[in-house]
Structure 1
Amino acid sequence: MDTKEMNNWRWLNFFEPEANKHLEFPFYKEEIEMWIEHISSQESNHLHLRSTEGKSYICGSLIYEQKLNQQNEYKLLHYFLTEHVLITSEFEQDSHINDDMMEAENAVAGFSILLAEILKNSIKRIDDFELKLNDLLWEIKQKNSIDRLEEIFQLRHEVLVWKNFMIPIIELSFGLEEAFSREIVETKHYKNMRKRLERGSMLTKEYIEEIDHLVHFEEMVSSHRGNEVIKTLTVITTLFTPISAWGALWGMNFTFMPELDEKWGYAGALIVIILSTVAVYMLLVKKGWTGDTLRPKKKNSFFK
């Protein structure tokens, strides 16, 4: 266990219940023991608070690092916080955090520093996500395919993981305001943490909206191309209708077949078929039903 004495508060990191260090805080003895009992089986985000004047505290568990591709690969922070005491377990911090902690006015400010550090690492990874999204944006224009759609939904899952990661921290920040008085909470470090939280939330919201636009865009392209296929099949079917009709008529074995006595009977029949087909095609063109179906595709174009 690592115990640090700050200005007006104490921080117990890598807390070990069997060491009985919590007995040094008899005022919160029952609450800490209940927290210890709960975290022994806790494997997800959880928050509990009490806002009674003179005995306010907040405790729970927080996922502070999450692997993107593995649901069960994460790091969990257990915490118990009062105005003058911060107890954490299994939180791996950088050395510079200790220096920042020394400046904290109280334990709530110190805990805000920890949350700000967690958010900083997360926002850095979100910035890396921005590069992947930008590359995909241009790949869609240059070489769109089903692989691009797969990449879009992979990124969509990733940004939703980040949003899901932010939600418990947002809840925790509101919990701090609910549990403690304004004088205790509204410190410089808490305000910095809130700003960083707002920045992270804004990024995830904007990226989700951008990816939704990409999904909608792909749906439009797919719908347009699907309509082109249907349009092409319709045009082909319509153009071959005269051939099919005349062929069916002349394929009937009636007793009286006048074309058998005509020298140019089949030539005339072919001319009738061709003229009928041309007439149908001209009707389609006049109606504008052929559209872009008969035009070649252009490079770096979505619909042409």
Structure 2
Amino acid sequence: MKPAFIETVSCGNWQFHYCLLNEPSDFSKIANVFPQYTPFIEESALLTDTNYLHVTNDFIAPEKNCMIGSFHYITKTSSQSNLLAHFYVDQYQLLLTDLNIPDLTGHSLATTVAILKSFETPIEALYFLLTKTLNPLLSEIDHFERSVVTAEKRHYDKFKQKQVQQLFNWRSDLLRLRHLTLPLQEIKLATEEIYTNNHLQKHAIHSFNKRFERTTDLLNQYEKQLSSMLDLSTTFASYRGNEIMNALTMFTVLTTPVIVFGAIWGMNFRVMPELYLKYGYLYSLLLILFFTGLVALWLYRKGWLGNKKNKK
């Protein structure tokens, strides 16, 4: 019984094998179809959540050189969850499992296969697909850029706690995107290890390298930008905290005589007007509420009861 989907395409001097699985048990079914890839299939079945990469570099018989590994990717329909694809590539074969090619490339499988046939080597075809995995990352980075630029335009004297939380959320998003680039970096380095310069100069590989470089440069830039914004918010929070402590210290010093006077007055049980007036306690409570309101108004105007709404 075959897996959910298997296709083998002859691309001139090399072959492309594509498998789309329904469940983990389908790995064993692939082994029946491709017994020569049994070690790769067993490795793929064991590691379904984490990336891995194995390189065979035979100096005596270069035709035996191969890469076995996996990489995470996202598509437009799954931008919030990372998908894991497995691959095997040597001089004459490319085997892919669990890579949703139509969602990744935006083309039908037949159209994508026709493009893959135009490549002379399987490593070029793999790099063509790896280049496609960078497109959703760059789209997310563009969206991330718009959010960061908007945040930078806000005045930090109106800085809100939820804006600090947003910075941490963005940092988490950056870490997720960087996690997607790590296996691609490994594949890039492994390719340089086992392939000659003639292979590395191929257009598909060169295109991937440049796009990958652009992606990592943008991630590095926004990581530094976020760090600067977090440092600025920390400095601002420290400054505001010092300002509040100084003002509250002054407030305490200024009101201490009144508090002491009230304490002394409270010990006088003979001259207590509120006991003899009909609404004495009501007047006292209203007076207490009035002065409490004045203090609260002062604290509010200083912005210490919570940040005031941003004003344009």
| Alignment TM-score, normalising by the size of structure 2 | 0.70
Are 1:216 and 2:216 an aligned pair?
no
Residue 121 of structure 1 deviates from its aligned partner by: 2.1
Kindly provide the CA deviation profile for residues 125-174 of structure 1, in whole angstroms up to 9, marking residues without a partner as x. 22122122223333455852111111111111111110111111111110
Residue 240 of structure 1 deviates from its aligned partner by: 4.7
RMSD (CA atoms)? 3.1
In structure 2, relative to structure 1, the CA distance for the partners of 1:46 and 1:140 (3 Å cut) is farther
State the alpha-carbon separation in 1 of the partners of residues 252 and 302 from structure 2.
20
Identity %: 23
Residue 197 of structure 1 deviates from its aligned partner by: 0.6
Matching residue of 1:45:
51
Q: Which amino acid aligns with 1:107?
A: P
Moved over 4 A (4+): 66-69, 139-143, 240-249, 295-301
Matching residue of 2:29:
18
Are 1:78 and 2:86 an aligned pair?
yes
User: For structure 1, which segment, 74-83 or 229-238, has the greater mean C-alpha deviation from structure 2 after superposition?
Assistant: 229-238
Map residues 1-304 of structure 1 onto 2, 5 A cutoff.
1-14=6-19, 18=29, 20-23=32-35, 29=36, 32-43=37-48, 44-53=50-59, 54=61, 55-65=64-74, 73-93=81-101, 94=105, 95=107, 96-139=111-154, 141=156, 143-240=158-255
Instruction: Indicate the structure (1 or 2) with the bigger Cα radius of gyration.
Output: 1
Matching residue of 1:276:
none
| Alignment TM-score, normalising by the size of structure 1 | 0.72
State the alpha-carbon separation in 2 of the partners of residues 14 and 140 from structure 1.
53
SS in 2 for 1:61: strand
Q: Structure 2: which 5+ runs fail to align?
A: 1-5, 21-26, 267-298
**Alpha carbons 1:68, 1:161 under 8 Å: kept:** no
In structure 2, relative to structure 1, the CA distance for the partners of 1:38 and 1:140 (3 Å cut) is farther
Kindly provide the CA deviation profile for residues 3-27 of structure 1, in whole angstroms up to 9, marking residues without a partner as x. 222132111011665354435xxxx
Q: Structure 1: which 5+ runs fail to align?
A: 24-28, 252-292
**Alpha carbons 2:7, 2:18 under 8 Å: kept:** yes
